[in-house]
Amino acid sequence: MATKKFMYLNRRSSFGTVYAIESLEVVLIAAAFEQDVSLAFMDDGVYQIVEGQETDGIGMKNFSKTFHALGDYDINKLYVSKESLEERGLSESDLMPLVYEDEDDDWEEKPSVKVVTNDELKAIMSEQDVCLSF
Amino acid sequence: MLHTVNKSSFERNSLQSCLNTIDDSSVILFIEDGVINAANNANSSMIADLAANGRVFALQGDVDARGISSKLADNIKLVDYSGFVDLVVEHGTAVSWV
């Protein structure tokens, strides 16, 4: 099967709508078909990967933990909009430390999250075959 | 009156509409994604004066779920569900800015 470059744009926060969890489901499906998957987080979507989400008080599944599994599915390109973080008073240190093991580098653990400017994101998006927006 | 806001001001104009029509004795309670408005961010000035007067509340469970409990703007008062009920009882008519 031909491999295409898929990008998933995540623009909503985690629990107010179903967009965030549905996106994550579809991302895992794409990975199962061994496609070249990358994720972008912008606008309120940056809240999806904020460290320290604790959902006991709202009775909803804390699916933020699932992001830690993405590395095992060879999904290791998570781009986060610098502008969106700054607007929300957040920085890279507020995000979950998501990593993957690089098989080309003796399985060394490397960060999956990369904070990029909107200009950089523009260039990354233009390389994609498919962009899916959530 | 009690005004509840459940949307982020980065996503919808619910908070602005609420602020446009809120009177001097009413309070705001942020719930669900509305708690994003309680974080210290580029939109915090919208509620700074009201918060300084002790009139801005946020629901603890929703704050915790979004990982922003250490990022709240100044003077935000946290309430649990029973505190939510107390606000309803104390302030009478509730307006839900969905």
Contact present, A85 and A46 (Cβ < 8 Å): yes
Q: The domain that contains B51 carries what CATH number? A: 3.40.1260.10
What pLDDT does residue B65 have? 98
User: Is A51–B67 a contact, with Cβ atoms under 8 angstroms apart?
Assistant: yes
Residue B11 class from Cβ within 10 Å (0-12 exposed, 13-18 middle, 19+ buried)? middle
Domain encompassing residue B36: 2-97
Nearest Cβ partner for B61 among A43, A57, A90: A57
Angle at A84 between CA A130 and CA B64, to 5 degrees: 105
Q: What is the pLDDT of residues A36-74, one digit of tens each?
A: 999 999 999 999 999 999 999 999 999 999 999 999 999
Contact present, A1 and A33 (Cβ < 8 Å): yes
User: Taking 80 as the threshold, does the pLDDT of residue B77 lie above it?
Assistant: yes
CA A47 to chain centre: 11
The answer for B 56-85 residues in CB contact with A (under 8 A) is 60-62, 64-71, 80
Nearest-CA distance B91 → chain A (Å): 24
What pLDDT does residue A5 have? 94
Q: Say which CATH architecture domain A5-133 belongs to.
A: 3-Layer(aba) Sandwich (3.40)
User: Is A16–B67 a contact, with Cβ atoms under 8 angstroms apart?
Assistant: no
User: Taking 80 as the threshold, does the pLDDT of residue A1 lie above it?
Assistant: no
User: Taking 80 as the threshold, does the pLDDT of residue A15 lie above it?
Assistant: yes
**CB atoms closer than 10 angstroms to residue A131:** 14
What pLDDT does residue A2 have? 84
The sign one gets for the Cα dihedral A70, A76, A49, B17 is negative
Band the pLDDT of A34: cuts 50, 70, 90.
confident
In chain A, helix, strand, coil percent, each to 5?
A: 40, 25, 35
Q: What is the pLDDT of residues A109-125, one digit of tens each?
A: 999 999 999 999 999 99
Name the residue type at position B45: S
CA-closest candidate to residue B65, choices A50, A85, A44:
A50
Domain count, chain B: 1
Which residues does residue A10 pair with via DSSP β-bridges, in sequence order?
Answer: A41
Domain locations in chain A as residue ranges: 5-133
> For B16-28, what is the mean pLDDT?
95
Nearest-CA distance A57 → chain B (Å): 4
User: Is A50–B68 a contact, with Cβ atoms under 8 angstroms apart?
Assistant: yes
Lowest-confidence segment of A27-31, A40-44, B60-64 by average pLDDT:
A27-31
What pLDDT does residue A31 have? 84
Report the share of chain A in percent with pLDDT over 70: 100
**CB atoms closer than 10 angstroms to residue B32:** 22
Q: In whole numbers, what is the pLDDT of chain A averaged over residues? A: 95
Radius of gyration of chain A (CA): 14
Nearest-CA distance B38 → chain A (Å): 11
Per DSSP, the residues of B2-52 read EEEE-S-TTT-SHHHHHHHH--TT-EEEE-GGGGGGGBSSTTGGGTHHHHH
